[in-house]
Structure 1
Amino acid sequence: MSIAEGPGTSAGSSHAERVFRVTRAFAELGGQAHGPGEIAQATGLDDSVVHRILQSGVYQGYFIRVRRGLYQLGTDAAQLGFQALAHDDLSGDTVRQALQELRNATDGGLAFLYMKAPFRGAQRQCIDMAVGSSDLVELGMTPRDVLSVTRSLRTGASGRTILAYLPDNIQQLVLAEDVPDEAGPNAYRDNDALLASLKEIRDRGYALGNQECMAGWSSVAAPILWRDTIMGAVLLLKPVTVMPQAPESYIEATKTAAARLSRLSESGWPATDG
């Protein structure tokens, strides 16, 4: 459903509804900046109405006029998002318990929580982990791996899982990126194959990886969803010599951990095949 097709699109729509539709248009159109005409077409509103909303939003700090006739979301809009996330009830104890239970259920697998990074475009960052007494360096994971290869959304099961639920315009930005030089031998380098893998992830609700981010590691990842918005992914890692193929019990344990950290809509878990 487009913005213009949404509820309350008649000429009698309230001013608040119009403001919300203009704000949403920036997210759905993608790109860095848009003009009033483009936003009017996307929302079904008159150009003059959109222009007045944008002008008022610039004054309030919710929109920025980047150059003549072009606007983008302002820092105050981002601040609202940070405030919403700051008041969630997902405690550190809940995260650690979910990751530790995943580790226990997978015979000592390494469990990680990746979330969308708030800066530098469409990326991810490791927020927490349950690895027991393991030394990541001894396991072959260098700080460079954590800060570079695993940051890309086009490499690894957790990256592709997050990417699978992002809007098409954001996916295209990620597909235009180069595969990190340090990526594993089985990283997706063909964009058509990568896109096909994203559809598969959405269809079944999880991703499987084999030596994508780093050589020698096999993985399972499942999405963390707050209603229809992708927030991150839970990742299970085991040596490929131990887990050449993930057993069903490991897949279910990963999905269970991700579901504990999700706030699902009434339709429940996104997988269609159970």
Structure 2
Amino acid sequence: MTERATINVRGNGAGTSHAERVFRVQQAFAELGRDMVRLSELAEVTGLDDSTVGRILQSGIYSGTFVRHDRGIYGLGLGAADLGFQALAHATDDTASHSALVELREATDAGLVFLYMKAPFRALGRQCIDMAVGDSDLVELGMTPRDVLSVTRSLRTGASGRTILAYLSEPVQEAVIAGPAPDEAGPGAYRDNDELRASLQQVRDDGYALGYQECMAGWNSVAAPIMWDDSVMGAVLLLKPMDTMPHAPADYIDAAKTAAARLSRLGGGSWPSS
């Protein structure tokens, strides 16, 4: 049986407080990347004994944090999704985080800048929580509010999606890769799974992703990950028309990485070195 490292929590990987133990159980679901997980698996990943995990799961059922599917088999409930998303959306200072987006826009000749965070449920999507687009009319640019503000595309599509996906666990990556590219994806979307896997390794090696007409025809992009400790929380996305940015210049890439590093620090984490 392959050995699995136990989850560490920020500040004290061997923390013994009840809150830390609950957090470790929630994180274990994300690491395992499945809807239904056995209690024994959660105990193995968290490093907690079965009885402790059982008590946490049982108490969480009443709050909707966890769901019992069968004897000894559990999943995350919508309560966990709500709590997790609220934490992601409000953990950074709003003014400081937005100013990082504005500065990226200014450094890239009025590019469109978006802040995406992991979707709150099962880590299989992303959601835009802030943007710096100036006076641009997104509808006239071919972007509907649903495209921008909702989780409408798989993480396998787009520079921001692949950036987040690159730092998720292998089971989650394979679950995303198993799904098809969305019908509305642009002509540059990865449709070959082996090429997609290779792109994820490239993102980890470089610390950023380049997208060429992935989400929409006529638009290219640069994205960099937001990291809190060793966990990816989201990505900063720079989007520009392909006729003005056929290839991302080095200073645009550096500006995106700088914005991502700043947002990572605001969340109490650190940015990966490339």
Structure 2 counterpart of 1:130, one-letter code: A
Give the match for residue 262 of structure 1: 264
Structure 1 counterpart of 2:205, one-letter code: D
Between 97-106 and 70-79, the greater mean CA deviation after superposition: 70-79
Give the match for residue 67 of structure 1: 70
Answer yes or no: is 1:223 the counterpart of 2:225: yes
Give the match for residue 174 of structure 2: 172
- Aligned partner (choices 199, 205, 208) of residue 206 of structure 1: 208
Separation in 1, partners of 2:126, 2:92: 21
Larger radius of gyration: 1
- Once the two structures are superposed, the pairs formed by residues 74-223 of structure 1 within 5 Å of their partners are 74=77, 77-78=80-81, 80-81=83-84, 84-85=87-88, 88-91=91-94, 93-119=95-121, 122-143=124-145, 145-146=147-148, 151-223=153-225
Retained in 2: the 8 A contact 1:150–1:156? no
Change over 3 Å in CA distance of 1:86–1:234 after alignment to 2: closer
Give the match for residue 233 of structure 1: 235
Secondary structure of 1:177's match? coil
Q: How many aligned residue pairs are there?
A: 268
* 1:54-109 superposed Cα distances (whole Å, 9 cap, x missing partner): 44554676543222332224455456535644662421x22332122111111121
Change over 3 Å in CA distance of 1:243–1:56 after alignment to 2: closer
Change over 3 Å in CA distance of 1:24–1:181 after alignment to 2: closer
Between 147-156 and 17-26, the greater mean CA deviation after superposition: 17-26
Structure 2 counterpart of 1:154, one-letter code: R
Change over 3 Å in CA distance of 1:23–1:136 after alignment to 2: closer
Separation in 1, partners of 2:85, 2:150: 24
Give the match for residue 6 of structure 2: 3
Separation in 1, partners of 2:222, 2:160: 8
Retained in 1: the 8 A contact 2:25–2:42? yes
How far residue 260 of structure 1 moved from its aligned partner, in angstroms, is 1.6
Separation in 2, partners of 1:4, 1:101: 35
Question: TM-score scaled to structure 1, two decimals?
Answer: 0.80
Change over 3 Å in CA distance of 1:48–1:98 after alignment to 2: closer
Question: TM-score scaled to structure 2, two decimals?
Answer: 0.80
Separation in 2, partners of 1:141, 1:19: 39
Aligned-residue CA RMSD (Å): 3.4
Retained in 1: the 8 A contact 2:60–2:66? yes
Structure 2 counterpart of 1:71, one-letter code: Y
